[in-house]
Structure 1
């Protein structure tokens, strides 16, 4: 076991109530110990490191000033909440972060009363804080006894329209609430856009070390003798075209910028506004992502997400990949195609590296658009690029594309615009859990007229599907693929355009057919081997396309076999549902076909390794074998026990 840091003061803290009597000197020491504990814990588990290190002092000050959990402290996204978890009674489990049956890597209501609102997607915190404030003022349920509400939101998350929708509403309602703008010039990638530039000007231009933060905004919060001087100071700052004007126009009293690593300043300002505020207040705090751990501070992403690592050297314990990642295969293939087609461009929502469009950005920077954490805008922007004659690839994780669904329907599908959606992180994703699982895209895209939807069985197929998407000019298309590395198959010399809506037979057999969509094909082939050991040789087919269906293939499988099973990495309502509808319309069930559909179960699956998650979902080889035997009416207690154990 690695050496644990010495934390004599932190050892005495069982809950935030234990912090109330600490002196400023002790709070500074506590912050140092929390930072050391966070680094030590994440070195053993992996996870989101830099964001938490950047808010250690802020976390300590918030819990020292506010009365949590009665006061609702809401962390936007939640990946910066590890120090918060350490201070709120979960330190004894902090080394189970993101492990099966362990602590979530994000805030989670079921985990602790100190997590009043779960979050793993960005820009929801201000809306949630306003909702709690209104519930408080309306009386709510007595057992929910709500005091103040505090949202902590990063500058990257402020680029999303939802944050400003909430601020606009909060400024109108004038409810007492607090928004902490954690400005660290980073989200995952460096932030982009005019808002980021505005925030940068605030603390680069203002002499905020010389002026008391409370004098630059929230004048009414100060004692009367000081208010006139504060007003004059505020007007001077406004005449310099900086200050909190933008936020004040939205109805918030603005305070800042503050040094987010200065406990003394944080305690003074937070204590003042907590005592005196009557309406919405925005406190602008400057922090440094990765603060206090040099290896994180030097990293390009400030140590945003790490594998297990050595605390002294910072070296991460990453397994050597056996095959290229699906993300890199997409990025490199797209760049290869763009060399020959100047109309190809890419759009991403604050995830250039995570989606692989960084490869294209390195080669053709003017043809890559990072729109910030603004998926709705990104989808409509892509639609207009397509309408303007470009060939846009809109690269967004499955779970994040959900945020732009109305735009997918209204701006892309109805207008039949050839936007190519590259859907990374499809299926179950492991340690990030249910909030990041790509469970629903097959269902929510499959019901839209005119969509072409592809799912590669391996990395070589992905190469061909990127080329196929580039060639589709008469409507929208999507390619969904999982997180992580491929299966190690031989890569093609050049991308080939596939015939739209045509699958392929991988193995010819009899009695039962297994029709796989996506990367469960490897598990399906293993299941076929297991069945062959029992004297049953199934036909195995790779659908390739969820839409349009390969109708000829499906009808032949139905006609030539006693049973047909579809396998997919998506929720009910996806590929299997479309196959069942098609077969029903063509009378296949009347002819006695036994049909089964293997999908993700109707539940949210908690974080674990992908293998464990797919076992829980019932989509590994043993369970596919058991489903096949059941469909054929063959009892198999051994397979049943394996399924029960999973």
Structure 2
């Protein structure tokens, strides 16, 4: 099945093949993609659409002397196969050796560990600048999708490249999609260029000072070899604009590009997942229902997302229902939160949704445009949990320490369904504070909760003695388990506290705990450095109270097993019980 692919130890072997063999190779590579993705999932559409282009890149250029930088790098699976890593696709035992993104630790053909968007042009510009300073002559190729062009960093990179006077090749993969549909005036230019086969005067790339060439047949290996041969060793910056089909080679993915951007393990014949997604009702469906109901009742309400409607599962038909109460800013978290601040300042009720790992890009706008102005914007973040996304480029565990220290920003960490729903509704309707809500990473649980969060304080859920457990957000259930274990082991009932708010300290409650407690334990779903637990430790710093913080280390974890990580950190309930024995 993989006769040709298994002969590829590097790009030099690709160059030995005839055109007919390259066609065969593309077929084998798609079969290898099927083998991996049906079993462990991953980015489907971006990779199936780039097979021929990446074969041509390695046929024409001389990697790693010539350097490729892939934007997001979620479309680099074919590149990995062609640089000797095909075992990670054809042999199940080797899946774990190959990450879902480019990774310099894997191969000399990868230059960056990249998983966020709109970065390839600027990263490649840095490589080109160093080349020019050193006086070497390699080709530098930045690969970027049309969706990623909407990011400000990509546009800034194009602007800088327009003043270059040396070799720089920008390969724009235009499949007419981001993760969902593309949004913004930029895409009128791309559409005009596709329709005119590259001849339209409405050419944003030429406007920025770049040379330009168009290739309609981006999924034809001969056409791609021809166009890349034309630009190899060019002495100035040029955009190679290619038109491809996202998900090419699999009917389900060709017909539903958004759903097949990324996939769970699936059955190839039916296209249906082979894993259990859990109960039909979850935090995403709760959020969807809230959004649709709120929009119907309140014309001043609007949902804003930086190209991430999937963060809370908003499907195309739901987005259509929202009409003008839905705004996709393209891949620009900075624009999303700044626009939201403007909406709020003019009396609207904005709700910003995305994944925690991407909100980091908007730190300055959250601090400056929202929080200094105290604009009542609500931001809801998915995948902020340690057991959500585990690739090193997509970790959400840094969100707590990143955002709880911005003045005026109220960070809420709900622990159950009722708390999340009431916090969300209260936040959208209040007009006093900017608020960030962390979607819990655990399953739906139920408990009676408060409905008013003005002057929010910590909540004592179980009054006890000697030990107080402050279990934040989706670690509250771990706190419940620990409280029961303490009672079983030591014969007394500890105090269990639901902090609810991660960005401030309830000083009155902490003062009162000193009366009949000798140990405070904090549990948080984030890194300890700069996190919630450190605020509690600082409060008790000059007092006799003992404090033990449990959380994650300041480490770029990568593709870890969440349960094993907790054990390595000494955060399982039996391990904590053993530590308590030494402390009291």
Task: Settle same-fold status: TM greater than 0.5.
Answer: yes
The corresponding residue for 2:324 is 366
The SS at the match of 1:547 is coil
The corresponding residue for 1:631 is 583
| Consecutive unaligned residues in structure 2, runs of 5 or more | none
Corresponding position: 1:566 with 2:527? no
Question: In the aligned structure 1, how far is the partner of 2:250 from the partner of 2:318?
Answer: 32
Q: Under a length normalisation based on structure 2, what TM-score does the superposition of the two structures give?
A: 0.94
Query: Is contact 1:27-1:60 (8 Å) kept?
Result: yes
**Equivalent residue in structure 2 for 1:581, among 538, 555, 566:** 538
- Aligned-residue RMSD, C-alpha: 2.4
**Equivalent residue in structure 1 for 2:456, among 496, 501, 506:** 501
Question: In the aligned structure 1, how far is the partner of 2:300 from the partner of 2:576?
Answer: 43
Query: Is contact 2:88-2:94 (8 Å) kept?
Result: no
**Equivalent residue in structure 1 for 2:181, among 179, 190, 193:** 190
Cα distance, 1:170–1:253 mapped onto 2, change above 3 Å? same
**Equivalent residue in structure 1 for 2:343, among 374, 385, 402:** 385
Query: Is contact 1:607-1:613 (8 Å) kept?
Result: no
Corresponding position: 1:459 with 2:417? yes
**Equivalent residue in structure 2 for 1:515, among 453, 463, 470:** 470
The SS at the match of 1:422 is strand
Q: Deviations over 1:296-323 (max 9, x none)?
A: 2122515111111122222211315136
Corresponding position: 1:93 with 2:88? yes
Question: In the aligned structure 2, how far is the partner of 1:495 from the partner of 1:597?
Answer: 27
The corresponding residue for 1:174 is 165
The corresponding residue for 1:539 is 495
Question: In the aligned structure 2, how far is the partner of 1:482 from the partner of 1:414?
Answer: 27
The corresponding residue for 2:558 is 606
Cα distance, 1:362–1:544 mapped onto 2, change above 3 Å? farther
Query: Is contact 2:179-2:308 (8 Å) kept?
Result: yes
Cα distance, 1:172–1:77 mapped onto 2, change above 3 Å? same
The SS at the match of 1:89 is helix
Q: Deviations over 1:369-390 (max 9, x none)?
A: 1111011111111110111110
Q: Deviations over 1:237-256 (max 9, x none)?
A: 35xx34xx321221211000
Shift of 1:618: 4.4
Question: In the aligned structure 2, how far is the partner of 1:282 from the partner of 1:541?
Answer: 57
Query: Is contact 1:558-1:564 (8 Å) kept?
Result: no
Shift of 1:95: 6.4
Question: In the aligned structure 1, how far is the partner of 2:409 from the partner of 2:509?
Answer: 20
Counting matched residue pairs gives 581
Cα distance, 1:630–1:324 mapped onto 2, change above 3 Å? farther
Question: In the aligned structure 1, how far is the partner of 2:259 from the partner of 2:382?
Answer: 23
Shift of 1:81: 1.3
Q: Under a length normalisation based on structure 1, what TM-score does the superposition of the two structures give?
A: 0.85
Question: In the aligned structure 1, how far is the partner of 2:92 from the partner of 2:72?
Answer: 16
The SS at the match of 1:520 is helix
Query: Is contact 1:155-1:183 (8 Å) kept?
Result: yes
Deviates more, 1:294-303 or 1:117-126: 294-303
Corresponding position: 1:272 with 2:230? yes
Question: In the aligned structure 1, how far is the partner of 2:52 from the partner of 2:166?
Answer: 27
Q: Deviations over 1:70-106 (max 9, x none)?
A: 2111110011111122221222233689999542211
Q: Deviations over 1:311-360 (max 9, x none)?
A: 22222113151363322222322333444333221110101122345596
Query: Is contact 1:515-1:567 (8 Å) kept?
Result: yes
Query: Is contact 2:217-2:223 (8 Å) kept?
Result: yes
Shift of 1:555: 2.2
Cα distance, 1:630–1:24 mapped onto 2, change above 3 Å? farther
Question: In the aligned structure 1, how far is the partner of 2:296 from the partner of 2:94?
Answer: 42
Corresponding position: 1:489 with 2:441? no
Deviates more, 1:504-513 or 1:127-136: 504-513
Corresponding position: 1:597 with 2:553? no
Pairing 1:40-119 to 2, within 5 Å after superposition:
40-94=35-89, 102-119=97-114
